[in-house]
Every structure is written in C-alpha cells, then in structure tokens.
Amino acid sequence: MAITHEAAIRAEGLTRRFGELDAVAGMDLEVEPGEIYGFLGPNGAGKSTLVRMLTTLLAPTAGRAWVGGIDVVDRPGDVRFLIGVALQEAGLDKKMTGREVLATQGRLFGLTRAEIDRRIEELAPILDMPALDRLVGTYSGGMARRLDVAAGLMHNPRVLFLDEPTTGLDPPGRVRVWEEVRRLNEEVGMTLFLTTQYLEEADALADRVGIIDAGKLVAEGTPAELKRSIGVDVITAHIDGDVAAAMKALAGMEGATSIDHYGSEVRVSATNGGRLLSPVALALDRAGVSVRELAMRSPTLDDVFLDVTGHHLEGGAP
C-alpha cells in the first residue's frame, strides 16, 4: 500500500504475538488527519491489541507504528501527549467524583484551572450533570464508560482512540457518545480511531472502515464502497431442504452478481434485486426446494463481513 508521511496513524507490518498466536498479524494501516476510522470486528479479532500497541501500552513483536508522525516505540512519552484514550477497561478511581476525575486528567496534561472548568462544562453533555459530583463508585457501568470517554477528551488530543466506546451503554448513552464524536470531528477536526463490533456504529460514524478478522485486515473502504462491492441488493433465502439443490437451481441466473450460501442461508447479490426476486422464488419452487423465508434488502456491513470472512459478525447489532 502507498504510505504517506502526513498520516495521523500509520502502521507497517505491525505484529503482536502471544506464544504461537498472532493476535495482530502484519498489519499495514494508514489513517488521515481529521478522519474517523472505524475498525470493525468480533471479540478476539485483535482490535484491542492493535489499539494497545498504537497507544504505547503494548510493545509490538514486529513492525513499526507512528502516531502524529512519532514512533510509538522510540518516543512513547511524546505520543501520549498527542492522544486521548478510552479503553474497554476504564481505569477510574472509585473514590473520586466524576468532576475530580476530569480535573485530575486536565492537570496531568498541564491545563490551567480555568481551562479545566471550561472543558468540564463542554464535556458535561456526555454525562448526566448531577453525576459529575457523585462518587465514581456509585456509577453504573454505562456511566463509568461515558466518564472514561470524557476523561480521554479533556486535553483536546490530536488523535482520540476509542476502544468499543459504547459497549454496555443504553441507547440514550450511545447517542450522547455518537454526538460528541461527530462534534469533535466536525468542529475541532480531531482524528478518531474507533473500534467496534456494532455494525450500525461503524456505518453511522466512520469515514472509512477496516474489517479485521483473526488479526488481519481483510477489507477497507468507505461504508458505501464496501457495501457496493457485493452488489446493490441482497436476496436471502433460508432453506429448509437441500441447500445444494438450491444452489444448483440458482446457478447462472441472469442478473445475479454473486450467489453464495452460508449454512442454510442462500444469498443472491444483484444490481436490481426487485427484478430478480420472483425468478429466484420460481427457480427454487421448480427445483422442489423448501424455503422457510425469502427476503430482499440493501447490503449491510454484515454482508460485507460475511463476504470477506465466511461468517457473520456475531453480536453485530447494538
């Protein structure tokens, strides 16, 4: 891949090995300044391991990475002052109030008292205002998650890493985080690197999406590009009978861009699914194939994930 030196995040052959397992396997990656990059994959795919390497918390086994043009291994301290981080495991002092956590974070990065007060006021919408003066130990899991995101934003970092930031949040909490992510990107131009297993989140927020599976980057592009890559419409037939017979009946169907099956689900991609729906139903009926359900829809990122990995993204719906 072509690598530019202006990238906000850059990795070349980045690898992290645990024993004989490559949790991240030779990753090449580039994220441009001001971009929201969504890293989509299931639990255990290597998303968090990659983030921990890019944020200087875990040393690579091989390869190199730069954030803001700074090598994460050679100059980790300089990288830490450029970035904000909200990991899956929030490291919050339960004996502090939310306000004290945010103020402490601000002081660590050299903010003045006036700057700290202003930033807390700006970040308050992520939280419920009354919660700011309650002890963190009284917070729900979702509230603690939102406080951790706010803490990562206190010093207005150039690059913000959010590792599954809305996991465990209720819908209103998820919306608050999404709104803040969009605001930071649009108003401040902050670069955001977002890992998620939620298809809707990646589709709604990311300028580009990278799909990771078993430690490897298997697809990359804008959400629209990725969905277009498998056709405009998707017809799914859930087969009760002989899947092989269904595939034979549909083979060579005019207008289909691809025909695949995953277990008992047969999937036909087409540029005009509406025109092909009836011929698919007729072909299966003539072949004597029992169909439990036949439906047509637009492609989703889960279809892309299925196409490039051979399996659905489990837990992919918020």
69-83 burial, b at 16+ Cβ within 10 Å, e below that, comes to ebebeeeeeebbebb
Q: Is the pLDDT of residue 90 over 70?
A: no
Measured distance CA(303)–CA(127) in Å, rounded:
34
Residue that the structure tokens 């995040």 belong to:
9
Query: Is residue 187 within 8 Å of residue 265, measured between CB atoms?
Result: no
pLDDT tens per residue across span 6-28: 799 999 999 999 999 999 999 99
Strands 70-71 and 83-86: unpaired
For residues 211 and 304, give the distance between their C-alpha atoms in angstroms, rounded to a whole number: 9
Flag whether pLDDT at 146 surpasses 70. yes
**How far is the C-alpha of 6 from the C-alpha of 17, rounded, in Å?**
28
- pLDDT of 306 over the 80 cut: yes
**CA 214 remoteness from chain centre:** 15
Candidates 248, 302, 257; CA nearest to 276 is 257
- What type of residue sits at position 300? T
Q: How far is CA 137 from CA 13, 72, 176, 277, in A?
A: 41, 33, 21, 55
Tokens for 313? Answer: 């993204």
Residue 48 in tokens: 């968090």
Question: Mind listing the pLDDT tens digit for each residue in 181-199?
Answer: 888 888 888 999 999 888 8
pLDDT at 231 over 70: yes
> Which pLDDT belongs to residue 181?
83
Q: How confident is the model at residue 92 (pLDDT cuts 50, 70, 90)?
A: confident
User: Where are any strands of DSSP class E within the chain?
Assistant: 9-18, 21-31, 36-40, 62-67, 70-71, 83-86, 159-163, 191-196, 208-213, 216-221, 233-239, 256-262, 265-270, 291-297
**Across-strand partners of 12?**
64
pLDDT at 318: 38
More confident residue, 29 or 258: 29
Q: Is the pLDDT of residue 263 over 70?
A: yes
Tell me the pLDDT tens digit for each residue of 46-56. Answer: 999 999 999 99
CA distance 91 to 108: 15
Dihedral Cα 64, 70, 72, 73, nearest 10 deg = 80
pLDDT at 316: 46
Q: Are 274 and 253 in contact (CB under 8 A)?
A: no
Confidence label for 1 from pLDDT (cuts 50, 70 and 90): very low
Tell me: pLDDT of 4 over 70.
Answer: no
pLDDT of residue 169: 78
Q: Average model confidence (pLDDT) for the chain?
A: 88
Q: Is 2 a residue whose pLDDT tops 60? A: no
Using the predicted structure, report yes or no on whether residue 3 has a pLDDT greater than 80: no
pLDDT of residue 160: 93
Q: Mind giving me the DSSP string for 275-295?
A: HHHHHHHHHHHHTT--EEEEE
